Amino acid sequence: MLVAGLAGLHAGTDAMLAATAAGFCCTAAVSWRFANGLLPFRLRFEWPVWRAFILAGLPIGGSLILQTIQLRVDVVFLALLRSPAELGLYDAPLKLYELLFAVPLLFGGLMLPLYVRDVGPRAAGTLAPRLNAALGASFIFSMLTFAVLVECAGPIVVMFAGPGFSGSADPLRILAGSAIFAGVTGTLRFAAVAIDEQRRVLRADIIGMCAAVTAHAILIPRYGIIGAAFGKLCGDLVTSVSAAIIMRKVLSRSTLVMVTVSAAAAACLIGAVSFAVDIDIPWFVASGVGAPVILGAVLLVPRVRQMLAPLAAS
């Protein structure tokens, strides 16, 4: 895949797309070869099996469609109601937002097989301990990242996008908070799939999408990119709260404890980075040293280690 992409790098957009498609085909062929060596199989059409998979996948597919709408509706409203310059300024923090919530989302996907095993007949029959530990780990990561972005949004967005995007700092701060709730929703969604509750979580996606569209329609015409960021925050917050209410039977008070601990750690990191910057220490040095130190301090707390222990449970 990488070789094919590099082959079309200097040959224009069309050649790059063709090289990328060729890379995907090669990857699929190699994957087929190795998978068939582990478990021999062949393609054939069996309507009962297909029907079962399609029906089971409809709620997940619906959630993906609603997520895409919620993720892009702010860009559509900005393009229709505001100037191209504002849309361009919004692009940089939006890319960082997508990167931020993708990390908890990928982590939740990695936890899915363990969730399924936890609810299996040979296990305890509940995924609650591991799910709450996963949410705690997600909160710690998201809160510390949020702290760095809140304090250093200006230089970070300039570093990634250039001096012309200095006006994107405030939207980035808001979107950093929004990414926390988007990560929580992603973690809960994978847990819902493990216990076959994806149909109920689809309701949370519907509610969140409606809230996001309404907020964007009200805020963007008046406040521009700040309104777009707040609209996304509103949609992600409503979706995560709705999903948490739906999944409340497998949530425990330990998650609230982890939220409190993570918020305290984030406040300490903001204070430490702010102090370091005030005494002329570069922001990237202050963040690069402060975040690991505070993370280590959090992990040294016995109660925190106890709540995160189910992540490594066999």
What residue ranges of the chain have pLDDT lower than 50? Answer: 1-11
Stretch (H or E) spanning 287: helix 283-299
Q: How high is the pLDDT of residue 10? A: 46
In a domain, 269, yes or no: yes
Tokens of 2: 């990488």
In a domain, 152, yes or no: yes
Q: How high is the pLDDT of residue 207? A: 94
Q: How high is the pLDDT of residue 6? A: 40
Q: How far is the C-alpha of 178 from the C-alpha of 182, rounded, in Å?
A: 6
In a domain, 28, yes or no: no
pLDDT tens for 194-203 read: 888 888 888 9
In a domain, 74, yes or no: yes
In a domain, 36, yes or no: no
Domain that holds residue 230: 70-312
Against a cut of 0.85, is the pTM above it?
A: no
CB 203 within 8 A of CB 189: no
Q: How many domains does the chain have?
A: 1
CB 233 within 8 A of CB 174: yes
State CA 241 to chain mean position distance: 15
Tokens of 124: 């305890």
In a domain, 9, yes or no: no
Q: How high is the pLDDT of residue 2? A: 45
In a domain, 288, yes or no: yes
Q: How high is the pLDDT of residue 44? A: 76
Tokens of 203: 């309701």
Q: How far is the C-alpha of 175 from the C-alpha of 168, rounded, in Å?
A: 11
DSSP state of 82: S
pLDDT tens for 35-48 read: 877 878 777 778 88
C-alpha distances (whole Å) from 72 to each of 18, 64, 86, 212 are: 26, 12, 15, 10
In a domain, 48, yes or no: no
